[in-house]
Structure 1
Amino acid sequence: MQIRSAKGCQWDQVSLGEVMLRLDPGERRVHTARTFDVWEGGGEYNVARGLRRCFELRTAIVTALADNAVGRLIEDLMLQGGVDTSFLRWVDYDGVGRDVRNGLNFTERGFGPRAAAGCSDRGHSAASKLRPGDAPWKTIFGERGARWFHTGGIFCALSETTAGVAHEAMEVARAHDVRISYDLNYRPSLWKNFGGQRRAREVNRALMPYVDCVFGNEEDFVAGLGFEVSGVDSSYSQLDTSGFRRMISEVVAAYPNISVVATSLRTAKTASVNGWGGILYYEGEFHEVPQRDIEILDRVGGGDSFASGIIYGLLTEQSPNWALECGVAHGALAMSTPGDTSMASLAEVRRAMSGAGARIER
């Protein structure tokens, strides 16, 4: 897969997606909490932030926020993350939020037998109001230059207009030889207001001809794209990777433009202990990191960090197997800290990839 040289490009990677304010009760429950920590987060943004903070690449986010104190808080958190906010679109706030507001996400981490849980409050958000024509894609991909573009099914499910924004971005990116990745990230709670699973598949299938790299877990491919994975049960407690290989082969046969398919492998034994690994298809060959048990502090964002690790490997011309190992290690480290976004360093990722233990470093 040929990737544009960094020379002449202002950014290595650009994401399109909503950035929400996450309210985290820590070890408590949302419905009994009295205090919350706040983080910024969003599937597409998390990838850009991981590439910037952990892997030290140049990244940007295309998004929108309502111009009020909450929006300015989210902006401040994003600035700490180092992602370029030049294309953050500010939308006038009416003082109440009748027409536009900022998305909130209340998230419990889970522990032992109690699963992680989320409660989103993101209706009428500024990002969901984005329409084709709102972002200067020719400037981003043509005049100033980017090597990689990333978006996904969460953004496309926000409203009737957001899939059109993603489509417009992909068309321009393709015209300027920018590699495109898409995370299926199927969320039933988002799609149910826009035609459900049927509509999700229509949207995703319409975008696939533009995509070079697809991310998704087993449920994403089944529900969000319509490709069945054989050898798994309804709760996905057992994952037969031969079934993934067959499914991925069907995907690339249907969409021969796709060069890379990456799937994280997760079996949740408890909320605190997960089996974690990954499988990567790269230009006709499969690579696999078998699952091993890891301890989880906060699982949200693990898949996004898996994606950013793989993208980093591809952007830096590492081998496909190295890229997959990097994604698995980065995802595991991201789930060892609170919040949606990675707090890992590249040195820590390399250490995890080498199989080094968790002895204290002095």
Structure 2
Amino acid sequence: MFDLITLGEILLRFSTEKNQSFLNASSMDLFVGGAELNVASIISQMSGKSACISELPSNAIGEMARRKVLEMKVDDEYILSDSHKDARLGLYYFESANSPRKPEVIYDRCNSSFRKLDIDKLPQDIWYNTRCFHTSGINLALGKDVREFTVECIKRFKKAGATISFDVNFRGNLWTGEEARKSIEKILPYVDIFFCSEDTARYTFNKTGNGEEIARSFALEYDLDYICQAKRTVHSARSHSFGSMIYDCKNDEFYKGMPYQNIDVLDRIGSGDAFVGGALYGLICENSMEKAVKYGNASAAIKSTIAGDISQFTRDEVCDLIASHEEGDHILVEVPKNTYAWVTLDEALGESLVYITGKIDYIVPLGEKKLPISPRAFEGKNHNIRVRYATDFEINAYQNLALNVNDQHENVNSFPHASANVETRGESVFAARNAIDGLTANSAHGIWPFSSWGINRDPKAVFHLDFGRKVKIDKLVIYLRADFPHDSWWNKLTVKFSDETTMDLNLEKTDQGQEFSIEEKTIEWLELCDLKKVEDDSPFPALTQLKVYGKNLC
């Protein structure tokens, strides 16, 4: 018995070479693929057993495609042969592009052999020969005959007891969102595992709300077991982040894996199918929603770095990537208590002169927690970690005392340390630590290098900076976030010092650092409070950086 049988058209893809358009291309790369074949190949390469229902022409082109199927360890038992003289394989042409141009796909798949599929030509034991059957909305979009064939397959596999998996896989150049909705809603009562991204759900099914709300709304309408949502963030044509969420409808449980950030994309085609294949392997072969998310995300990330439609990797590669992506790595720094030291935990972060009162337990940030730091940090196999004692000259020099590139929420022994009573939505890109990381880029908001301290619209927000020892200060420099008009700004705030004095500051709307000389004072901490926002349309004031100049006293 197979773990998975898929139904889908096998295609030839012609791709322009890098940075070439259709108009100036003199040659093209050739690949075999097809969404459902791509999914089946993941199952087989992950050590599962898969087959594909399709039809190929009985000629050299069809034989070439069939050999590729077998090369991917996908069984061809249910791939029919078309011996008609007009038999042909469906084609599509792909033109990659860098911003601001967009990639383009042109289909040439009309009258292909796949469209001649006859359900009576399939062996009748097929319906009982798989644990799961998978297909996609692409088949429903290919016309009446293919749509009816697909629906009949779904019904027969369901009746035979197979789990039914369906990926919306919406293609705007095949049909409209409304056409897709009408067709897909007819087969959803038969579906057990449903793949549909947030964006597709909004466009095709007119859903509203966040990902969890959308998933629950589908579960209320249909008797689904799992709803799988892939989420791709496109930073540029060559840089994507990929994550996902799976909803267990029966137990009302969500599982979200850490996304893979800033993937160096070589070829994005097939990465969504790789996610589906990895997720199905986890659900069908290992009965684990957690593993489904991990396998799906890792498979999509790896596929993005491989040319062609079909993923070519081993289960060990996927597991190795997952292991390297797991949370749990710590960097421990142990020096004598009350020591000044220069600490570099990664070259991409830089170094800081910090005051250490005990063991530093630095949690290597991954996933969402890594967004406010350089994407180059903690990547690759070689890492340069340095800790050295500071000299007396370095300790006693006049300097910015509010700089700690390695500050974290969990930090209790390395100073300076920033904290706050509120941070926007609890997201790392709006954490207090961002205001002492040394980065003053403030013309945007969000991920590195534009992270900031956000107050979640709370007028009672307080920013606390702890030096961990006595310091003598005489100047503050404040950088407000200046992503105008998205951002608002504070025109007044109060600085409260540990010596029980306060200072009121008047601020301006600017992207420059605003300097404030203060009467020299000895303190151990300070706070920014009583933040007064100007009257404007934006509810989003934020602090990009705080610098505090002075000298150490011990």
Q: Which residue of 2 aligns with 1:277?
A: 243
1:286 alignment partner in structure 2: 254
**Given the alignment of the two structures, is residue 105 of structure 1 paired with residue 92 of structure 2, yes or no?**
yes
Residue of 146, 168, 173 corresponding to 2:157 = 173
Alpha-carbon distance in 2 for matches of 1:133, 1:202 = 27
TM-score after normalising by structure 2 = 0.56
Cα distance per residue 1:82-141 (max 9 Å; x no partner): 2111111112333xx4xx5211111234345443332221111111232543433x3112
Deviations 1:200-221 (A, max 9, x none): 2121011101110011223432
Structure 2 match to 1:254: 221
Q: Structure 2: where are the runs of 5+ without partners?
A: 326-378, 383-554
- What is the 5 A alignment of 1:192-207? 196-207=176-187
AA matched with 2:213? R
SS of alignment partner, residue 86 of structure 1: coil
Which protein has the bigger helix share? 1
Is the contact made by 1:109 and 1:297 (CA closer than 8 Å) also made in structure 2?
Answer: no
Deviation at 1:68, TM superposition (A): 2.7
Once superposed, what is the RMSD of the aligned Cα atoms?
1.9
Answer yes or no: is 1:34 the counterpart of 2:26: yes
Quick check: 1:59 aligned with 2:50?
A: yes
Deviation of 1:198 after TM superposition, in Å, equals 2.9
* Equivalent position amino acid for 1:228 in 2: K
Instruction: Give the strand-richer structure, 1 or 2.
Output: 2
Measure how far apart 1:295 and its partner are.
1.7
Cα contact 1:52–1:81 (8 A) shared by 2: yes
Residue pair 1:68, 1:93 contacting (<8 A) in 2 also: no
Deviations 1:263-298 (A, max 9, x none): 110121211111211111123211112443222110
Q: Which residue of 1 aligns with 2:274?
A: 305
Q: Distance in 2 between matches of 1:47 and 1:328?
A: 14
Matched to 2:147, the amino acid is A
Q: SS state of the match for residue 359, structure 1?
A: coil
Partner in structure 2 of residue 344 of structure 1: 313
Cα distance in structure 1, aligned partners of 2:91 and 2:265:
23
Q: Deviations over 1:154-210 (max 9, x none)?
A: 11211211121121112221122111100101112112xxxx333321210111011
User: In structure 1, the residue corresponding to 2:219 is in which secondary structure?
Assistant: helix
Partner residue in 1 for 2:134 = 150
Deviation at 1:223, TM superposition (A): 3.7
| Deviation per residue, 1:46-89 (Å, 9 max, x gap) | 10011112x02111110012223322221222222221111111
1:216 is aligned to 2:185: no
The structure with more radius of gyration: 2
* 1: CA distance, partners of 2:238 / 2:244: 19
How far apart, in 1, do the equivalents of 2:208 and 2:63 lie? 43
Tell me the distance in 2 between the aligned counterparts of 1:290 and 1:110: 28
Q: Work out the number of aligned pairs and report it.
A: 325
Note if 1:244 corresponds to 2:230. no
1:139 pairs, out of 113, 125, 147, with 125
Give the aligned partner of residue 228 of structure 1: 207
Bigger Cα displacement from structure 2, 273-282 vs 196-205: 196-205
Give the alignment's TM-score, normalised by structure 1: 0.84
Counterpart contact for 2:48–2:285, Cα < 8 Å: no
Give me the whole-angstrom Cα distance separating, in 1, the residues matched to 2:51 and 2:23: 35
The answer on whether the counterparts of 2:3 and 2:285 sit within 8 Å (CA) in structure 1 is no
Distance 1:259 1:279 in 2: 14
In 2, the alpha carbon distance for the partners of 1:183 and 1:167 equals 14
Q: Given that residues 4 and 51 in structure 2 are in contact (C-alpha distance below 8 angstroms), is that contact kept between their aligned partners in structure 1?
A: yes
> Is 1:65–1:101's contact at 8 Å kept on the other side of the alignment?
yes
Moved over 6 A (4+): none
SS at match of 2:12: strand
Residues in 2 aligned to 1:358 and 1:278: alpha-carbon distance in whole angstroms: 24
Whether the 8 Å contact between 1:12 and 1:146 is mirrored in structure 2 is yes
CA distance in 2, matches of 1:337, 1:245: 31
Higher relative contact order (CA closer than 8 Å, sequence separation 6+) = 1
Verify the 8 A CA contact 2:263 2:304 in the aligned structure 1: no
Q: Quick check: 1:51–1:312 contact (8 Å CA) kept in 2?
A: yes
Q: Distance in 2 between matches of 1:132 and 1:202?
A: 24
Measure, in 1, the Cα distance between the counterparts of 2:244 and 2:137: 20
Aligned counterpart in structure 1 of residue 6 of structure 2, from 15, 20, 40: 15
- Paired residues of 1:131 and 1:162 also in contact (CA < 8 A): no
Secondary structure of residue in 2 paired with 1:151: strand
Which residue pairs with 2:104 in the alignment? Answer: 117
Which residue number corresponds to residue 3 of structure 1? none
